[in-house]
Amino acid sequence: MTLSNNPEARIQALLKRDEFVPVPTSLISYQSSGHIILIGDTADLALARTMTLDLPISPILVSNVSSQSVPINTICLAGRTLEIEGYLGNFRVTLTNSDETTEVISADLILDLNTHALLGLEILPPGYLHRNIQQIGIGALAQELSEMTGTFEKPKYFHYDSNICAHGVNGVQFCTQCIDACPADAIISLGEKIEVNPFLCQGGGVCATACPSGAIRYVYPSLADSGNQIRIMLQSYRELGGEQPIVVFYSGDDSGLIEQNILSSHVEMLPIKVEELASVGMDLCLSALVYGASQVVLLADTSAPKSALQVLERQLDWAKVMLEGLEINADRISFIRQVADSNDSLSLTPQAIGSWQIEPAIYTMPDKKRHAIYQAIDHLYKQSKKLQEQIELPEGAPFGTAIINSESCTLCLACVGACPGKALQDGSNREVPEVFFIESNCIQCNVCTLTCPEQAIEISPRIIFDREKRNRPRALNQDIPFACISCGKGFAPTSIISKMTEKLKDHYMFQGPRALDRLKMCEDCRVVDIVQDDSAMSGRFDTLN
């Protein structure tokens, strides 16, 4: 154990951490009457029946036995498929046989006694208990079940802004990162938007970490609350003479044992407990550095969902590439998987990467992830050697540029209408048909590349460190306005008129030169010419006059 040479600084910093109160969020309520669906084999069901428990039970036998061996009042699976859906107070188990005949059982709780949970999720729904009855014991299990009756509440952990969601555009799905990442299977597609089931969501936060646009935000605590808690804690630490603080994020362990081990591991470590480690993305890690942490450590316990940690590691890889581009040691952010039993002593040895020589930021933490990341990058860039104005990022990173092939692009602006981040914008109000691009808004979602009818757009992940350049609109393509052949008014990009004329010249409706010329007229002149054209008004489109 390393004794602190400045214990007062750490004590006061941790007091400031604990004094911080996050903004409350709305609550989700569950109502349970204690009706249990019990699922297991013959031996486990028999043992479970010996529990002293004054609650209604519907046993389901999953092992293959003869009908004569099925205990009384037990539902036998008997070759039927079993589907489970719901949550505490609202479970439904559907049994379906080969001729699609179904039997539905409703309950408040599910006790799954199988070796492997029948519901294959990394985070099981509230009220779904997967237990080994041999290990936990009948008495302890009965006590646990009896305590799961009544009304229960939990925070609503998320906020969803459909206006900036890149999930779907024009009936086509593009981004599924939040759906793929959620270990609780709480997010589904509704076509162009997604829906989060608040009763299944258990605050894992990986959806907010994975979301490139910030359409899903973690709200309890919010990003702003988490960042400001760290800022206040580190400020207190410095004011009392503390140096080179190391912020350690961890989750789990209500006993406080992990925090005790962190505090005993190194003199400068300041632990922060979070609901789930995967809620700590590069936004919070980079912000902790600019608020004065010399290092940021993410400590994953053995219960953390593997799929969520994969998303987290990818995020940290992007953050480390950014740090390297700023000539900052990437090891200032580190990720540690705890492999030992949580009851064992945990020893964390910080990286020997030198002292941290930056002026800590004093700005308050924004509540939007992209703003938080850019604000942190800007602060670090101001104090860097500025050797690189921009760097390439790994594939999949949510920052980058777009390129338009001017020879293929017709300036139809389909990409502008589809872009969820408003990175692509219509510049036609400047009297010249053009597409503008604001790189700071680009989330590299591929919507533009897949929407473009001419396949004229390419995207590439990168980060521009210079804030002014990153936010400055720039033209990706422009054209000369085509002048109406009747009145001379510019009304469309020349490339569109040329391509449209070429494609329609052989169409039966445009065989006559007058009909083809109408493609070169503005809307008003086109209507006037149609009215004056007897062939068009009578529906004769095959004339050559």
Would you state the pLDDT for residue 543? 44
Torsion, CA 164, CA 168, CA 174, CA 175, rounded to 10: 40
Task: With both helix axes pointing from N to C terminus, report the angle between 282-290 and 369-382 in degrees, rounded to the nearest 10.
Answer: 40
Quick: pLDDT tens for 276-306. 999 999 999 999 999 999 999 999 988 889 9
Please give the structure tokens belonging to residue 88: 């505490």
What Cα–Cα distance (Å) separates residue 403 from each residue in 17, 55, 477? 46, 65, 9
* Dist CA 507 CA 505 (whole Å): 6
Higher pLDDT, 212 or 48: 212
Would you state the pLDDT for residue 5? 59
Q: What is the mean pLDDT of residues 503-528?
A: 86
What confidence tier does 343 reach under pLDDT thresholds 50, 70, 90?
Answer: very low
Tell me the Ramachandran region of residue 368: left when phi exceeds 0, alpha when psi lies from -120 to 50, beta otherwise. beta
Q: Where are the domains of the chain?
A: 7-22+221-382, 28-154, 156-218, 391-478, 488-538
Q: Residue 126, SS3? A: coil
What confidence tier does 359 reach under pLDDT thresholds 50, 70, 90?
Answer: very high
pLDDT surpassing 60 at residue 459: yes
Dump the DSSP string for 339-389. Answer: -S-TTS-------------SPPP-SPPPSSHHHHHHHHHHHHHHTS----S
Would you state the pLDDT for residue 1? 37
Quick: pLDDT tens for 304-333. 899 999 999 999 999 999 999 999 999 999
Strands of 176-332, DSSP E: 187-189, 194-196, 216-218, 246-251, 269-274, 295-300
Mean pLDDT for the chain overall: 90
Same fold flag, 156-218 and 391-478 = yes
Quick: pLDDT tens for 404-448. 999 899 888 999 999 999 999 998 666 678 899 999 999 999 999
What confidence tier does 387 reach under pLDDT thresholds 50, 70, 90?
Answer: confident
What confidence tier does 340 reach under pLDDT thresholds 50, 70, 90?
Answer: low
What confidence tier does 355 reach under pLDDT thresholds 50, 70, 90?
Answer: confident
* Dist CA 399 CA 177 (whole Å): 15
What confidence tier does 511 reach under pLDDT thresholds 50, 70, 90?
Answer: confident
Would you state the pLDDT for residue 379? 97
Whole-prediction pTM? 0.86
Would you state the pLDDT for residue 325? 96
Would you state the pLDDT for residue 338? 78
What confidence tier does 6 reach under pLDDT thresholds 50, 70, 90?
Answer: confident
pLDDT surpassing 60 at residue 178: yes
**pLDDT-wise least confident of 146-150, 380-384, 408-412, 441-445:** 408-412
Would you state the pLDDT for residue 170? 86
Would you state the pLDDT for residue 339? 64
Q: What is the CATH number of domain 156-218?
A: 3.30.70.20
Q: What is the mean pLDDT of residues 441-470?
A: 96
Strand order of the β-sheet with 474-478 is 424-426, 434-437, 474-478
Q: Is 266 in contact with 246 (CB distance < 8 Å)?
A: yes
pLDDT surpassing 50 at residue 122: yes
pLDDT surpassing 50 at residue 2: no
The CA R_g of the chain, rounded to the nearest whole Å, is 31
- Quote the percentage of the chain above a pLDDT of 90: 69
Q: What is the CATH number of domain 7-22+221-382?
A: 3.40.50
* Dist CA 14 CA 20 (whole Å): 10
Would you state the pLDDT for residue 463? 98
pLDDT surpassing 70 at residue 341: no
pLDDT surpassing 90 at residue 60: no
Would you state the pLDDT for residue 482? 85
Long-range contacts of residues 314-321, Cβ cutoff 8 Å, at least 24 apart: 314/396, 315/209, 315/210, 315/281, 315/282, 316/282, 316/285, 317/394, 318/282, 318/393, 318/394, 318/397, 319/282, 319/285, 319/286, 321/391, 321/393, 321/394, 321/397
Higher pLDDT, 342 or 152: 152
Quick: pLDDT tens for 234-259. 999 999 999 999 999 999 777 788 89
Would you state the pLDDT for residue 515? 86
- Considering the domain delimited by 28-154, tell me its CATH architecture: 3-Layer(bba) Sandwich (3.50)
pLDDT surpassing 50 at residue 545: no
Would you state the pLDDT for residue 513? 85
Classify domain 391-478 at the CATH topology level: Alpha-Beta Plaits (3.30.70)
Task: Spell out the residues 6+ positions from residue 291 whose beta carbon is closer than 8 angstroms to its own.
Answer: 227, 230, 231, 234, 235, 360, 361
